[in-house]
Structure 1
Amino acid sequence: MDDRGRLAQPLKGTARWRLRLADHAAVSAAPPGDGKATRPRAPVARIIERWSSLLDSKWPRGVGVAATAVIIVASLAYGVVRGDHVPSMIAGIKGARDGIAGATGFRVVSIALAGNHHVSREEVLAAAGVTGTTSLLFLDVDQTRERLKTNPWIADATVLKLYPGELQIGVKEREAFALWQKDGHVSVIADDGTVLEPYVAPRLSQLPLVVGEGAQTKAKEFLALLDRYPTMRDFVRASVLVGERRWNLRLKNGIDVRLPETDVAPALERLVALDNEKNLITRDIVAIDLRLPDRVTVRLSEAAAQARIEALKDKLKKKGGNA
């Protein structure tokens, strides 16, 4: 009790804070030792006063519990993302969802598959993401179709749901068109240049071989042109794209035929005509250069070149003797 008869009461937290603020303001306003009054720091005092009044205000019932729940959920979400547990969490949710749908009679129990020849049934189902627990109710047809098309053999697909538990899948496969060699590796490609698989199947050994960077996308047009000259095509072992600009033909007997960058058809016609007239591609030569439109350059093998030199020497000797 003070000198006026008032009973002293303990101060609450906010009241103590206000008292400290008042003391701070009084000290700030008090004159310093030289007797001159200083200007109080009004902005700082106002900010502190605002925060203290906010803390002293009454909040609705349950706000603290809600804020705590938000903090816990945010912490859990942060932990899931930082720990890279999102895929497993999504998979768990999908599994629980499919389990509930399966228990109500919407599990996929029958799958009709058509159109697959190069791709096995297991590969199709794996690409579609269909398992023994898949629910027909939650299966997304468009998403399943796009997943099927991630398999390079599958050009297009249709997916049909027949409730309560039948799924029909039809696939349109790409056809093996050629073999493509690059950096020492040989792959099977479709006519649009899509790489289908590494070359391991002997049944595909009769496919035409194209070689070089970019050859897979230009093979369809060039091989169609080569098909117009079947007698020459049958001699070709590989078509080699040079600098992604022009083609060379490597024949089965080792001869290189160098084709021009443009006007390839006339060059092939000249080659066929020369072979018909002079059996050019069966001679002892290593290269035939058709890059210039007004001439054909032939390079002999070393043995043929040496034999030609000797023949010329003998011819000169005979001429000298006759003289």
Structure 2
Amino acid sequence: MRSLGSARVLTDRLHAAERHDPIMSAPRWREMPRQGAPAQMPPEHFSPPHQRATAEDLHLHAPAFDPQTPEVLPFHAAPDTDFAAGDAGAGPGAWPQPRWLVEAPDAAANLEDAPARASAEAVTRAAAARRRDDNSLARRHPALARAIARRLGLPDPEAQGAAAPAARRDPAPSRLAYRLQRLWLTPVFRSLTRIGVPVFVVVLGLGLWLGDEGRRADLVGRYEALREAIEARPEFRVERMRITGASAPVDGAIRAMLPVALPASSFDIDLADLRAQIVRLDAVSSVDLAIRNGTIEIAVRERVPAILWRHAGGLEMLDATGHRVATLVGRSNRPDLGLIAGQGAQEAVPEALRLLSVAAPILPQLRGLVRVGERRWDMVLTGDRRLLLPAENPVAALRRVLALDKAEDLLARDFVQVDMRLAERPTVRLTEAAQGEYRRIKALEMQVTH
């Protein structure tokens, strides 16, 4: 059964070859005897005698054959069909007889109608056998495979096998592709590609568009018109000014600083610049500005005068930090404020205020404080009397003088100055009249003693 099935398939193969090969369709092929010596074929169609296969080592099976498409496929070796060497008397160029032609002559007699009897089982078996590359005829007997391929008009199997590896594509990337891939892995290059290139394109486009002078002028004109239309809207108009916490002179000075006349647009009033101008006023300590409901509101906190400073240029009012508040025309205008004088007195205002606070019991006799050498104070009393205070801890020295006055009525004496610069040795300097009276009393005491 195996030989008969293979015979049918090979018969189909032979008929397909006859339709495509004029040599195999010749009458002498059909008249080839079933047994004995086969018909002699031209030697150029066969391999040399020493390359021909024998019955022991050559096995063939027919390829798959589709009756609808007469396509001829190459032969492969199979264990179910083989060739016999033919009669012993065959010549050196004899065609080897298939064993099935010897064992089954009835199959060769029905060559004309063999294609019609091809079964599905034979086609399936042939397709499975064709996939056995390890037993293929092209691998075991290349010379015979070339001869059969030339006879059937098929391409050379060795040529196909040699050309196949050359057609394979090298999967490795090219040198340029490799370098581009490595370059793309760097963060700087990716950032430059994703951000730098689009930004450059946009800037380049804007530069080219704005390169025309007419376009620039039109753009500026449109911007100015839009700005003026927005600034002239009623919700941005300022019609009134309200100032709180300022004296009359400061109020008038602030109103004179307003850059525009009301009503005006709020865009024309620079609040930061106006605040800086108001703060520069000596009488103003701080100021808050805001625009609400068409009104500019200014809250002013003025400096409070704490002391008077007399210098060569006149009389100035200073606050507790020594900052100038205003110029005073006369001492009588602010008799409630203490007076300081001397070079550098304005720099020691806090210390002068502490001394004036301690000297409250003698304020009716106090005329003022004089800064000496920019390092210490002299307290001036009525009658041109002076209390010379030390540079270090003058408040304690003043308290000691007040204690002596309370105990011995020191300040009621006829003296010129009380020197407290040396705490361990206070010195009192008397007037000329007091000194004469003191000598007279001492002389009387001496006469009475003698």
* Interval of TM-score (by shorter of Structure 1 and Structure 2): 0.5 to 0.7
- Residue number in structure 2 paired with 1:221: 351
State yes or no: 1:125 paired with 2:255: yes
SS in 1 for 2:384: coil
Name the CA shift for 1:100/1:235 in 2 (closer, same or farther; >3 Å).
farther
State yes or no: 1:137 paired with 2:232: no
Count how many residue pairs are aligned between Structure 1 and Structure 2: 222
Structure ranking higher in helix proportion: 2
Map 1:139-158 onto structure 2 (within 5 A). Answer: 139-158=269-288
- Residue number in structure 2 paired with 1:261: 391
Report % sequence identity.
28
- Residue number in structure 1 paired with 2:341: 211
Map 1:53-202 onto structure 2 (within 5 A). Answer: 108-117=238-247, 119-129=249-259, 131-132=261-262, 135-162=265-292, 165-183=294-312, 185-200=314-329, 202=332
Shift of 1:298: 0.5
CA offsets 1:60-80 (integer angstroms, 9 cap, x no match): xxxxxx9xxxxxxxxxxxxxx
Shift of 1:234: 4.7
CA offsets 1:87-119 (integer angstroms, 9 cap, x no match): xxxxxxxxxxxx999976555321111111363
State yes or no: 1:288 paired with 2:426: no
Distance in 2 between the 1:227 and 1:276 partners?
17
> Contact 1:127–1:150 at 8 Å: present in 2 too?
no
Distance in 1 between the 2:363 and 2:259 partners?
44
CA offsets 1:119-142 (integer angstroms, 9 cap, x no match): 342212124545446542221111
Name the CA shift for 1:203/1:182 in 2 (closer, same or farther; >3 Å).
closer
Name the CA shift for 1:130/1:262 in 2 (closer, same or farther; >3 Å).
farther
Map 1:16-35 onto structure 2 (within 5 A). Answer: none
Pick which of 212-221 and 149-158 moved more.
212-221
Structure ranking higher in strand proportion: 1
> Contact 1:161–1:168 at 8 Å: present in 2 too?
yes
- Residue number in structure 2 paired with 1:79: none
- Residue number in structure 1 paired with 2:374: 244
Distance in 2 between the 1:252 and 1:101 partners?
70
Distance in 1 between the 2:399 and 2:372 partners?
21
Name the CA shift for 1:138/1:129 in 2 (closer, same or farther; >3 Å).
closer
- Residue number in structure 2 paired with 1:62: none
Unmatched tracts of structure 1, length 5 or more: 1-65, 67-98
Which amino acid in structure 1 is aligned with residue 351 of structure 2?
Answer: E
Distance in 2 between the 1:171 and 1:140 partners?
17
Give me the TM-score of the superposition, normalised by structure 1: 0.62
Which amino acid in structure 2 is aligned with residue 123 of structure 1?
Answer: A
Pick which of 107-116 and 238-247 moved more.
107-116
> Contact 1:255–1:285 at 8 Å: present in 2 too?
yes
Map 1:40-55 onto structure 2 (within 5 A). Answer: none
Which amino acid in structure 2 is aligned with residue 176 of structure 1?
Answer: P
- Residue number in structure 1 paired with 2:430: 300
Pick which of 221-230 and 241-250 moved more.
221-230
Distance in 2 between the 1:129 and 1:286 partners?
59
Shift of 1:263: 2.1
> Contact 2:240–2:262 at 8 Å: present in 1 too?
no
Distance in 1 between the 2:325 and 2:372 partners?
23
State yes or no: 1:312 paired with 2:442: yes
Distance in 2 between the 1:255 and 1:101 partners?
72
Distance in 2 between the 1:266 and 1:162 partners?
54
CA-based RMSD: 2.6
Shift of 1:279: 0.7
Distance in 2 between the 1:227 and 1:161 partners?
43
